[in-house]
Structure 1
């Protein structure tokens, strides 16, 4: 038996002001999208914004359903829309803002496991890393240089 240690490396910024202007603007789009989320059951709102290689910005917000599995997360809403609208254009950056209507979210909130797998599919398909920035409603912002950093044991088509 051999023990293997796996670690993720993130950059953490104290607030939005430490980010470059383009990432600040992308995060503002994610915040706007979060405020438009349809989350009547969980009261947990998430917004995502993608910067495409053609400088288009694609947004998504979580969309809940009384039949819980029928809802869709903000990250997947945005990434699937980008894939449908710009199938041959790379995704360069993703910004995510998440928060609960029940309490203030000040810590960075990363994508869920299902979203990580969906983002992985696009990162593998485009053969180019997607920078991922995530935050709560306010406070620190975390940056991952690639989805592979957030999901080191990703499932891909090499095992099929």
Structure 2
């Protein structure tokens, strides 16, 4: 048996005020999307904003329904829309913010596993990393320079 160590690197900012200007602007767009989320069952609103290489900004938020878990997360709502409307554009950067009506969200909240896999598909397709910023409602912001930091053992077409 051989032990294999996998490491990920994240950068943590104390607040949105420390972010580069472009990332802070994108996070504000994620806040706006988050505030429009439809989450009557979980009371957990998530918003995402995506910057494409053509300059377009796409936003998405989580959409729930009574047939839980048939809804869709904010990250997949946004990235699938970007893929359907701008199939040749590359995703440069994503900003994600989540808040709960049940308790404060003060720590960075990363994408769920299903969203990580969806984002990985686009990162692999475009053959370039996607910069991802994520946070709760307020507080610290985490930055990953690539989805590979959040999903190091990615399942991709090479195994099919």
Task: State the TM-score, normalized to the length of structure 2.
Answer: 0.99
- The answer for the alignment partner of 1:121 in structure 2 is 121
- The answer for the alignment partner of 1:39 in structure 2 is 39
Q: Following the alignment from structure 2 to structure 1, what is the Cα–Cα distance between the partners of residues 107 and 145?
A: 19
- The answer for the alignment partner of 1:64 in structure 2 is 64
Equivalences for 1:77-116 in 2 at 5 Å? 77-116=77-116
Q: Following the alignment from structure 2 to structure 1, what is the Cα–Cα distance between the partners of residues 133 and 63?
A: 21
Q: Following the alignment from structure 1 to structure 2, what is the Cα–Cα distance between the partners of residues 158 and 102?
A: 41
Q: Following the alignment from structure 1 to structure 2, what is the Cα–Cα distance between the partners of residues 79 and 41?
A: 23
Shift of residue 5 of structure 1? 1.1
- The answer for the alignment partner of 1:10 in structure 2 is 10
SS in 2 for 1:70: coil
Q: Following the alignment from structure 1 to structure 2, what is the Cα–Cα distance between the partners of residues 8 and 65?
A: 34
Stretches of 4+ aligned residues off by more than 6 angstroms = none
Q: Deviations over 1:56-114 (max 9, x none)?
A: 10000000010012100000000000000100000000000001111111000000000
Structure 1: where are the runs of 5+ without partners? none
SS in 2 for 1:68: coil
Shift of residue 8 of structure 1? 1.2
Compute the RMSD of aligned alpha carbons: 0.5
Q: Following the alignment from structure 1 to structure 2, what is the Cα–Cα distance between the partners of residues 16 and 100?
A: 18
- The answer for the alignment partner of 1:146 in structure 2 is 146
- The answer for the alignment partner of 2:158 in structure 1 is 158
Q: Count matched residues.
A: 160
Q: Following the alignment from structure 1 to structure 2, what is the Cα–Cα distance between the partners of residues 65 and 8?
A: 34
Shift of residue 29 of structure 1? 0.3
Task: State the TM-score, normalized to the length of structure 1.
Answer: 0.99
Q: Following the alignment from structure 1 to structure 2, what is the Cα–Cα distance between the partners of residues 25 and 78?
A: 17
